[in-house]
Every structure is written in structure tokens, then in C-alpha cells.
Amino acid sequence: MINGYNEKVTRKLFFSLVPVQILLVMCGGVNIIIDSAFASNLIGPNAVAATGLYGPPAKVLDTINALIFGGAQILCGRYLGENTLKRARSIFTLDMITVTLIGIAGTVLFFFFPEAVARVVTRPDNPLIPDLIDYLRGISSGVIPFLLGTQLTSFLQLENKDKLGYIGIGGMFVANTICDYVFIGVLNMGIFGLGLATAVSNWVPVIVAGIYFLSKKSVFSLDMSDLHIRDLGEISKHGFPTAGTQFLLAFKSIILNAIILRFAGSDGLASFAAVNSFGYVYWAVPAGMSSAMITLASIYAGEKDEGAVDLLMRIYIKKAVPIVAGASVVMALLAYPLTNLFFHDPSSPVYSMTLIGFILFPLYAPFSTLVVGFRDLWRCLEHKFAVNYIVFCDGLLYVTLLSYIMSSFWGMTGIWIAQVAGCVLMVLTIPVISLIINKKMPRGITDLCCYPAGFGVDADRRLNLSIHSMEEVINISEHVISFCLDHGIAKSTANRAGLCIEELAGNIVSHGFTGRKNESVDISVTVSGEELIIKFKDNGVLFNPKEIDDIFVPEDPARNAGIRIVKNISKEMEYHSLLGLNILSITI
């Protein structure tokens, strides 16, 4: 029996969330590669250029997605941590309704008014406008599923249905390839068919996820009974940092282009474009880590569990950041072959600029990952000053300022150095932000996390236990009773709590464990005022409502008598499955 938190379970949870999020970030880039291949070979170079003009509208959709889902993700995690599943479902419902309405508006705009969109993204005399209009009309029916697909695939992770997410994303790639061939190569639909193929493929993840969420098996479901439009304000507030970062990154690229043209010329701009064409790869792993951090941090923040947040941050720093660093080194080692994909004359200035870029630029990723991790944690803890400071300085100020200074001395090399230096400077700022919030020098992870006043309960008023075998169950009752009595809980309540925990933990070990590695039951007993809150989390076989009923209301009255006594005196009892865990909360 471990008196504390099971690091292996938390680490496994964290990294189970990462792969799907990496794929979600990369899928846009993969679809661009697929479309570009078909466009260049079956339509012509103008088609590739026209799809490039779709970049700004696509960025707007990405920003809207980040705003809505980023906020909904944090709020759903918080409400799940607080055991208010009904509120989490209402946020999920509002999320689905909002993005659907936005998607409908986008579809109408792209199909009926593509000329207006074209006038915004390019000059009126651009000869590619007719192609862009055709592409917008083709892709218009894919706006709704583009928005819904990201949301639903991410919510599948909370339901521990990652396989469905992989099926949806893989099916999207296959559908896009087949439809590109049929619509362009067979039906000769041109650039309209190119857009339509992407639109059709966008529906695949939505259909796969939608079938599950419309079933009665899902934790999240559409629930209009507790829907409040005012929650859109909370969703937008919590989603703004992600959306704001995307907006500032777009603005930063405009400024950097101007700086590059001034100090490195068109060769510098070409090298910058070549290196940034791998942006989806550079961003995918850090973005996956970021999403996993938000998901778990929001849940632990909702539980007001300081120890769990501390553990999560340690795993993020000691495991996630080094993985990103390793991936960055691999990318840097591939600098020569990546450069030769674009330029082939080693003696040309653009070749050397690009080579240096592929070596230096990936090295920013581990520093950025660390910064984003603290930004996301502070979002969940609602430190607005810290979050907004990071969004502005990391997204725009530091890199553009350093780029201007360094490029004036070292040209394009200065631009590449500035990308890394800006992130390093941001990392050095984190302890300063902690000092400002806590009004004391940080001495460890707990101080750097910057918990708000009144967050959680005192450590001595929460007992955390991790059970791995039936032998450890035997002595748990005595341990719990002693803890309760030491904190002023009535002896009768303490005895019943001890009996309940022993019987339920034994039931989980006996019937829920399958012999897999690292199976455990994590139990927390918290004294909150005069209440006793008991929470079980186990990674064994998932229960269903019938099994829960059988535990608490068995056909044999002699079975689980202690548990049923506690059920009768409990103020609240709630079970749900989340991230592949059985979670049962009891308030006495």
C-alpha cells in the first residue's frame, strides 16, 4: 500500500492522451500534402497556388476551433473533477451547438459568397480568384465536420475510446485520397472536386465519433436540461489564450516576413517558407503534450488536488519535455536531406540559409513545450495575468524583437537564433512570474505551480492511498479509521467509512483486476469541514451501471452490508468512467 499518488498511472494517463492529439495537429498537414500531390499532377500548378490562398480562411476556422474547444475542454475537465457530470454535459452540448451554428455560417459564406472571401484574402486582379472561388464552393460542405471532428475526436479521449479516434483520422486520409482520385482523375471536376474531396473526408471522423456519442454508452451526451447561453462567456474566456496565441502567431509571421526581406532578402524569405512548411511536424508533438496537460490539469484543478497537480507537472517536465527535446534533435540531424527536398545547389545562399534553419529552428521546441505547459496549467488555475503575459510575449514580442536585433548583425542566421533565444528567454521569465504571483522566490514545483489562495485542502486533511493487491486491502480499514478519528470525524462514521473502503477496494481488486501490469486502486479520503469525501479511482475493468447497482443493492442482503450502510448515510454518491478509469465519489 502506497501512502500517496501512483505516478505510473498518472504517467500512463498523460501519454495515452498524446498520440491522438499529435495526429489531430498533423492531419491538416497530411491532407495538404495529399491534395497538393493530386492538384499538381492532375490539375496544374495554379491549383496548388489557389489552395494556398485558402490558408487565411483556414486559419480563421482553426482559431474559432481553438477558442471554443479550448474553453470547453477546461470547463468539462473542471466539472468532471468536481463530480458535476450534468454541468460537464451541458458544456459539451453547448460546444456542439455553437460549432455547428458557426459551421453552418461558414458553409453559407463559402458556397454563396465566395467572391467576398476571395476579395479579403487576395488582390482583386489576382488571376487565381476563379480557382479560389471554385475551391471554396467545393470545400464549403466540409466546414461543419471540420469544426465538429476536432471536438468529437478529442472528447473520445475522455471516454477512453482512442481507437475510434484513430479509425476516424485514418479513414479521413483514405477518404481524401480516394475522393481526390475519383473527383479529379475520373470525373474531371477540377479544383471544385479537390475541395469537395476534402469536405467529404472531413465527415469521416464525425460519423465515427457521432455513432458512439449518440449511443447510450458515452459519458458525454447531448443534454439540454441545464444549458445556459451565458456559459459561452466562460468558454470563450478559457479558450482565448489558445485562440489568441494562434492570432498572434499569424501576426508574428507577417512581421517576421518584413524583417527577413529587409535583412536577408528574397532568399531568406524562401528559406523561411521552406523550413516552416514542416510547421505541422514541429508543432505536433508539443501540441499533443499541451492538450494532455490541459485535460488532466483541468480535472485535478476541479478536484482541488494540489498533490495530483504537482505530480502531473513533474511528469510533464521530467518526461514530456525530454521527449520533445529528443524529437527536436532528430529533426536537426535530418537537416541535409530536408534542405535537399527544396534546394539542390549547396553553393547558393538560399541553400545555406535553409540548412542552418533546419538545424537551429527545431531546437526551440523543448523550451516552447515547457513554456506552454506552465501557460496551460495557469489557465486551469485561472492566473489571467500570467497567461496573458505568456500569450503576448511568447506569441509575439520576444521573438520579433530579438529577430530584428539579431538579423541586423547576422542576417538570416540571426532570425533562426532568435526563434530559440525567444523561447529560452520566456523560460527564464517563468520563475519571475511565480515570484510576482506568490510574492516569494520559488523553491520547487509547488511554488512554480502558483496555487490560488484557498486551493484544495491542507495536505494533512487528505489521505491518499494506492492499493495494488488483496494483501494491501486487509489493513486499509484500520488506516482510514485512524485518519478519520485524528481529524474529528465521529467514531461511528469513521468505522463505516473504513468498512466501506475495505469492502469496495477488495471488490475492485477481486473482480476488476485482470493481472495487467500497474493495476491499482487510488483512494483519497478528504475531511472538508464536517463532511468526509471518499473517492475511488481504478484502472481495472470498467464497470457498468448494473454492476454498480449489484455492489450497493445486491440480491443477497448479506452481501456488502457495510457498503450499503454507508450508501444509506451518504449525502451524495456518483459513479462515472473517465479516461479509462472507474471513478466513484462518496460524500458522508
Q: Report how far Cα 583 is from the mean position of its chain's Cα atoms.
A: 21
**C-alpha torsion angle, residues 22, 101, 221, 225 (rounded to 10):** 140
Q: What is the mean pLDDT of residues 406-424?
A: 94
Q: What is the mean pLDDT of residues 338-343?
A: 84
Q: What is the mean pLDDT of residues 18-23?
A: 79
Highest-scoring range by mean pLDDT, 26-30, 94-98, 274-278, 450-454: 94-98
- Tell me what pLDDT residue 5 has: 63
- Tell me what pLDDT residue 63 has: 85
Task: Write the CA distances from 414 to 165, 264, 408, 420, integer angstroms.
Answer: 41, 10, 8, 10
Residue (of 299, 413, 324) closest to 361 by Cα position: 413
Residues 6+ apart with CB under 8 A from 529: none
Residue (of 110, 18, 105) closest to 64 by Cα position: 105
* Residue 165 and residue 112 in contact, taking contact as beta carbons nearer than 8 Å: no
Q: Report how far Cα 66 is from the mean position of its chain's Cα atoms.
A: 10
* Residue 159 and residue 184 in contact, taking contact as beta carbons nearer than 8 Å: no
Q: What is the mean pLDDT of residues 488-510?
A: 82
* Residue 275 and residue 354 in contact, taking contact as beta carbons nearer than 8 Å: yes
Q: What is the mean pLDDT of residues 429-441?
A: 93
pLDDT-derived band at 459, boundaries 50, 70, 90 = low
**Collapsed DSSP state (helix, strand, coil) of residue 540:** coil
Is residue 450 left, alpha or beta, with left meaning phi > 0 and alpha meaning psi from -120 to 50?
Answer: left
Return contacts of 332-341, CB within 8 angstroms, 24+ apart.
332/358, 332/359, 332/360, 332/362, 332/363, 334/358, 335/359, 338/278, 339/274, 341/274
**Collapsed DSSP state (helix, strand, coil) of residue 159:** coil
pLDDT-derived band at 543, boundaries 50, 70, 90 = low
Kind and range of the H or E run holding 533: strand 531-538
Return contacts of 437-446, CB within 8 angstroms, 24+ apart.
437/383, 437/385, 437/386, 445/310, 445/313, 445/314, 445/317, 446/306, 446/310
Q: What is the mean pLDDT of residues 260-287?
A: 80
Question: Hunting for cell 487565381 — which residue is that?
Answer: 128
- Tell me what pLDDT residue 546 has: 43
Kind and range of the H or E run holding 413: helix 412-438
* Residue 350 and residue 271 in contact, taking contact as beta carbons nearer than 8 Å: yes
Q: Which residue has the higher pLDDT, 34 or 403?
A: 403
Homologous superfamily assigned to 461-587: Histidine kinase-like ATPase, C-terminal domain (3.30.565.10)
pLDDT-derived band at 3, boundaries 50, 70, 90 = low
* Residue 462 and residue 526 in contact, taking contact as beta carbons nearer than 8 Å: yes
Kind and range of the H or E run holding 501: helix 491-512
All cell numbers assigned to 53: 490562398
**C-alpha torsion angle, residues 105, 111, 115, 118 (rounded to 10):** 70
Angle at 196 (CA atoms; ends 109, 59), nearest 5 degrees: 55
pLDDT-derived band at 545, boundaries 50, 70, 90 = very low
Residues 6+ apart with CB under 8 A from 187: 193
Q: Is the pLDDT of residue 566 over 70?
A: no
Sheet of 572-578, strand order? 2-3, 462-467, 521-528, 531-538, 581-587, 572-578
Pairwise CA distance, residues 267 & 253, whole Å: 16
Q: Where are the domains of the chain?
A: 8-222, 236-456, 461-587
* Bridge partner residues of 578 (DSSP): 581
Q: What is the mean pLDDT of residues 150-177?
A: 87
Pairwise CA distance, residues 9 & 536, whole Å: 14
Concatenated DSSP letters for 127-148? Answer: TTHHHHHHHHHHHGGGHHHHHH
Q: What is the mean pLDDT of residues 193-214?
A: 93
Q: Which residue has the higher pLDDT, 162 or 383?
A: 383
Q: Which residue has the higher pLDDT, 532 or 315?
A: 315
Residues in the chain: 588
Strand 581-587 with 531-538, pairing: antiparallel
The pTM (predicted TM-score) of the whole model is 0.76
> Helix 365-380 to helix 321-333 angle, to the nearest 10 degrees?
150
- Tell me what pLDDT residue 200 has: 96
pLDDT in tens, 511-525: 778 777 777 888 888
Q: What is the mean pLDDT of residues 126-152?
A: 90
Secondary structure letter of residue 43 according to DSSP: I
All cell numbers assigned to 508: 475492485
Task: Write the CA distances from 373 to 68, 334, 541, integer angstroms.
Answer: 20, 27, 31
* Bridge partner residues of 582 (DSSP): 538, 577
End-to-end CA distance of the chain: 24
Concatenated DSSP letters for 56-98? Answer: HHHHHHHHHHHHHHHHHHHHHHHHHHTT-HHHHHHHHHHHHHH
Q: What is the mean pLDDT of residues 349-367?
A: 92
Q: Which residue has the higher pLDDT, 565 or 193?
A: 193
